[in-house]
Structure 1
Amino acid sequence: MRPIAPVTALLLIVSTASAFAQEQPEVNCQEAVTQMDLNLCAHRDFEAADMELNSIYRQAIAAMQATDKELGDINAAHVGAVGALKKAQRAWIGYRDGQCELAGFEARGGSMEPMLVSGCLADLTRKRTAELKELLEPAGN
């Protein structure tokens, strides 16, 4: 039997948590006690963080398009902000996924692993969102 690739394992963990979300929408995360509920709540937290990241990323892309336009009007050789942002985002996703897979090893194969992975995903996603928000601030602020 072939071992599961790390990315496949991460996707399996996240999709399992997603299945929990579809089966138990009535969990009150403020009072979660069971591991299944804690896993579900951690996944919901990640989903909320990911939605905010996607919104800010779209705004950052628009801001970098405006930057490229301004720079292109001066010198076409200076254009490339959108490409740099996309390159950085792709690299960050690889880092996030690997780092959070590693975080899951604290409870590898246990019922707590999905919570650890989702918690890591949410934390790193919020940090990346903050980085992207900095791109939207006027220079010098």
Structure 2
Amino acid sequence: MRQILPLFVSIITVASLSANTVTLANTQSQLGKTYLAQKLNCNDPQTQSEMNICSQLSYQNADKKLNQVYKQLLPKLSKTRQQKLIAAQLAWIKFRDASCEFERSAYEGGSIAPNIYAGCLEEATKQRTQQLREYLQRDDY
């Protein structure tokens, strides 16, 4: 049910957009590939649904940056350290998701819950990206 709510909100939002504001955007949901057609002004979202979608897009942007830094760091490490980083990253993802699920749970059933969850994911992801960047700057790979 928790995974269906963001998808449902996205579908409702897409259905409510007028035809002349629709463009194709490729966005993946937690349930697999879902393609949303939308054109949003995320600098000034007007509805809770728009805020939720913009938060999700902002998180996805942060996640892309994290993956870029991770991919830069991984080949610079010895095989043993690569394995440790992979294990640490998988554990961090589980922790991040569980922590953000806890934060979101304070708004259970509310229309702001997806926004809270995505905002939490984004903030934690930015922090982790900074940690990985600091590893890249060190000389003791």
Q: TM-score, normalised by structure 1?
A: 0.75
Structure of larger gyration radius: 1
Q: Structure 1 residue 105: deviation in Å? A: 1.3
**Alpha carbons 1:43, 1:115 under 8 Å: kept:** yes
Gaps of 5+ in 2: 14-26, 28-34
**Alpha carbons 1:46, 1:122 under 8 Å: kept:** yes
Match for 2:56 among 43, 61, 77? 43
Q: Output one character per residue of 1:30-89: Cα deviation in whole Å (capped at 9) or x when no partner.
A: 11121001001100100000110111111111111xxx1xxxxxxxxxx61001100100
Please name the residue that 2:124 is paired with: 124
**RMSD, aligned α-carbons:** 2.1
From the superposition, tell whether residues 112 and 106 of structure 1 become closer, same or farther in structure 2 (CA, over 3 Å): same
Larger % of strand: which? 2
Please name the residue that 1:82 is paired with: 82
Please name the residue that 1:31 is paired with: 44
Task: Kindly report structure 1 stretches of 4+ aligned residues shifted beyond 2 Å.
Answer: 11-25
Q: Distance in 2 between matches of 1:58 and 1:127?
A: 17
Q: TM-score, normalised by structure 2?
A: 0.75
From the superposition, tell whether residues 23 and 98 of structure 1 become closer, same or farther in structure 2 (CA, over 3 Å): same
From the superposition, tell whether residues 25 and 95 of structure 1 become closer, same or farther in structure 2 (CA, over 3 Å): same
Bigger RCO of structures 1 and 2 (CA < 8 A, at least 6 apart)? 1
Q: Output one character per residue of 1:8-30: Cα deviation in whole Å (capped at 9) or x when no partner.
A: x2x43454566556445211011
User: Quick one: which amino acid aligns to residue 68 of structure 2?
Assistant: S
**Alpha carbons 1:56, 1:129 under 8 Å: kept:** yes
Query: Matched residues, percent identical?
Result: 30
Q: Distance in 2 between matches of 1:123 and 1:60?
A: 21
Q: Distance in 2 between matches of 1:17 and 1:49?
A: 21
Residue 52 of structure 1 pairs with residue 65 of structure 2? yes
Please name the residue that 1:12 is paired with: 4
User: Quick one: which amino acid aligns to residue 90 of structure 1?
Assistant: L
**Alpha carbons 1:18, 1:43 under 8 Å: kept:** no
Q: Structure 1 residue 106: deviation in Å? A: 2.1
From the superposition, tell whether residues 14 and 97 of structure 1 become closer, same or farther in structure 2 (CA, over 3 Å): farther
